[in-house]
Structures are given as C-alpha cells and as structure tokens.
A = this chain, B = another copy of it.
Amino acid sequence: MMAAQQRIVIIGGGFGGLHAATSLRNVEAQVTLIDRRNFHLFQPLLYQVATGALSPANIAAPLRDILKRQRNTEVLLGEVVDFDVEKREVVLRDGRIPYDTLILSAGVRHHYFGNDQWEQHAPGLKTVEDATEMRRRILLAFEAAERETDPVEIRKWLTFVVVGGGPTGVELAGAVGEIAHHTLKHNFRRIDPATAKVILLEGTDRVLPPYPPHLSAQASKSLTKMGVTVRTNAVVTDIQADTVTIRVGEQTEQIDARTILWGAGVQGSPLGRKLAEATGAEVDRAGRIIVQPDLSLPNHPEILVIGDLAHYAHQTGKPLPGVAQVAMQQGDYAARRIAARLKGETLPPFHYKDLGNMATIGRAAAVADLGKLQFSGFIGWFIWLFIHLLYIVQYQSRLLVLIQWAWNYFTRNRAARLITGEHLLPPIEGHKA
C-alpha cells in the first residue's frame, strides 16, 4: 500500500516561507503556501517606497507567479487565525487546512512597548500600506507647511522625527533628509524645504548598535552630512500628535513635530503566541517562539518555526537577528530537514552562516560589515546596491529598480511622490490657503 502524500503547509510568503517553499520543489509532497497577501514583499527596500523612490510593485512579486512552475506547490490566499495541533490542522478565518508538517514563518509587526496609542501618531513600516501611509505623511507635511502662515506651525510641519537608530530608522532618516535638501528643491514658493529638521532618536549610545563602533560613527557622520540631527541616549517616553517627549539622562525634553516615524521595536506575529499556547512552546518577551536546534518545537517535530518569528539562540547564546538572511537560511534548512525526516534521516542542527550586515544611509553612503571586511561610504553603498538588486526576485523588477536608482542618483529626484489614499489634504485647523 502506498502511503498518502505528505502535506506540508507553510504560513507566510516572506523570505523564510518562500525559501522553504522553493527548497521543497523536488520533495515528494504536497506543499501549500498560505499568505494573507498575494505577493512576496522585498522588505529591505520598503523604506524606499515610503520615501517615494520606488513603487510598491517594484519590490513585490506575485507568489503565484514565483511558484507557478513548481507543480507540487499551491498558493492559498488566506488568513490563519489559529492552530489545531491535535488534529494537525491550520485554522483559517473561513476553513481548515490539514497538515502533516507545518512551517510557521509569519514574521513580526512593529511594536510600541506597551504604548499602542503611539501608533496613530508614529506609524511603523512593515507592509505596502504602511509605506504609502508614511509617504503620504512625509509629503503632506511639506504641503501643509506651504499653506500655513503661523511660523510656529510651519516649524512643526517642517520637523520630522524618526524613532529608532536601527537600520530602518537610519534609512528613513537619511531619505527624509535627502527629500528635504535635494528632491524638493525649487518645488515650493513660500517655504524652503531645506530648512526642515530631521531628528533621529536612538535610545542607546550610538546608531546601528549591532555594528562595530567605528561603522556606527561613520553612519552618524553620513547622516549629519545629509542634514539629519542624530540624538543618541534619547529615550522616547511619550508621543502625541505633534510632540515627542524624550528623556536624555536626567533631563526631559519635548520636540515639536508633526511627522513622527517609527523605526524602533518589533514584536512577533500574534500567530506565534497562538502556536505556543497550542504546543506548550515558550515565547520570549518579543513574542518570538523559542525553537529547538532543528527549528522544530519541543514534542512537535512536525512543526517548525523560522524567520523573524523564531528565537534561535543555540549558536551564539543570543537570538539570531531578524534579518532576511537568517530567514532564507532557515527556510532552506527547514526544507532539507523535512526531506531528511521523510527518508527517516536526521540533520545536524541549523547553523547560521553570517554573511555580514549592511545598512544604507542614503545617496552614496552605506555601511557594510562583512566580518573581516568592513566598508563605509561609497564602496559600502555600492556593495549594498549590488546585493539588494541580486536578491530581488523578479528580473524585470531588478531592471526597473536599477534604472530608478540610477535616475535618483543623478537627478536626486524621486518620481514616486504620490499622495494617495483617503485623506488627500493636510489637516487644516488654523491653516490659511
């Protein structure tokens, strides 16, 4: 008698889930990739959508299209709400999907350290909608300043605060600085966008804390050149619609700003907690599931968690960072681990091969920490560009992104400066046309 075919369900079409799916292409199994969205998003470039340099479609590739030739795999647009680990079923909002093996790669959302009310004033950056919302706020701030007559209000509209000195915060702050100083030159008649203040707030003593100190210093220098005011040891204690309160040492300070962007904390998808509850697995403070050396859960060898949602500390004692590289390698490992298990074999524990870290600050400025090799400035930037282009899934997108980058480089223009969505006009109380 033939055994029924193994059903592998993957939740999440990000770097982890997609790599798991493609690495399963030759495994005799029935693979189902479930995502709420119909596309894979190249998140490392999302800040470029938020700052008008690229269009959403340039960094998104339809999941069905990527996997269309992979006959053992189907894509399901669906929203997972829970798990029935006894019956081995994934519970969707409107149905159930049985599995023999489950890979959860549901990622993280931004997170306000218990201050969810900050979100409305300081949106984060995880989805395409987040990015177009940020773009809308940044561009509308200049429009509002142009229409305003009260100098105090103009100053508020022309002050941008970015919270968090990690890669996202650094990238956003650099891009907003460039918009103010270059992209919008000659665009306004009443205000000078170059007088805008861009303030980057970091709670620790330097930006890009996981990088070697001299690269942090380089990044800080590049940011300053781009017109960004870097404030370290600045802990955000409150955010309102037009003020950020910070604590610097013993001092409390208020920054008046109409545009506040969040690049600070992230927290695991709520699905992490659901799965932990169902399996008895442990969750860390950031909502990530603590996984075994082979990425599975205790007593549940049939369930693997990968990517940003996995807390994997077996290698270095502290959890691996939430970066694309880790997720991709874990996706590949998960696929190999499943294939081995089907054959009754075992694999050595997952081992992360750190190829280095990179963060860009803006035009011709980036830092790259490739272990022994460390670059900053133009060379760092060039490496950053090259690697990012290489990892974009679709060839057409690579070409489109390359052209837009080249164009932006030479003209400092950002063509995707659309204000779209419900609220097309800036808030108007007290404004004069």
Contact = CB atoms under 8 A, between A and B. Distances in A.
A426 interface: yes
B421 A69 contact: no
B433 A92 contact: yes
Max chain B C-beta neighbours (<10 A), residue from A69, A92, A397: A92
Given A94-B432, A128-B420, 10 more contacts: A55-B55, A57-B415, A62-B187, A77-B147, A93-B425, A129-B420, A394-B415, A396-B403, A399-B403, A403-B403
Interface stretch (A31-39, A156-164, A324-332): A31-39
Interface string A421-432: 100111010011
A433 B78 contact: yes
A38 B396 contact: no
A272 interface: no
A189 to B, nearest CB: 4
Contacts of A93: 425, 428
A79 B382 CA distance: 44
A186 interface: yes
A93 B423 CA distance: 14
Contacts of A419: 37-39, 77
B396 A404 contact: yes
Interface string A175-210: 000000000111111100000000000000000000
A399 B405 CA distance: 13
A411 B65 CA distance: 12
A61 B417 CA distance: 8
Given A65-B187, A418-B128, A425-B77, A433 B397 contact: no
A62 B74 CA distance: 41
A413 B36 contact: no
Interface in A377-423: 394, 396-397, 399-400, 403-404, 407, 411, 413, 415-421
Interface of A: 36-39, 55-58, 60-62, 64-65, 68-69, 74, 76-79, 92-97, 128-129, 139, 143, 146-147, 184-190, 394, 396-397, 399-400, 403-404, 407, 411, 413, 415-421, 424-426, 428, 431-433
A187 B129 contact: no
Nearest to A68: B186
A283 B93 CA distance: 51
A74 B394 CA distance: 40
A146 B58 CA distance: 26
Contacts of A420: 56, 128-129
A421 B37 CA distance: 10
A64 B431 contact: no
A431 B93 CA distance: 11
A415 B184 CA distance: 29
B396 A413 contact: yes
A392 B428 CA distance: 33
21 contacts: A36-B425, A37-B424, A39-B417, A55-B58, A57-B418, A61-B415, A65-B187, A77-B146, A77-B424, A77-B425, A77-B426, A78-B425, A79-B425, A92-B433, A93-B425, A95-B431, A95-B433, A394-B415, A396-B413, A396-B415, A400-B400
Contacts of A407: 396
B424 A36 contact: yes
A13 to B, nearest CB: 13
Contacts of A92: 433
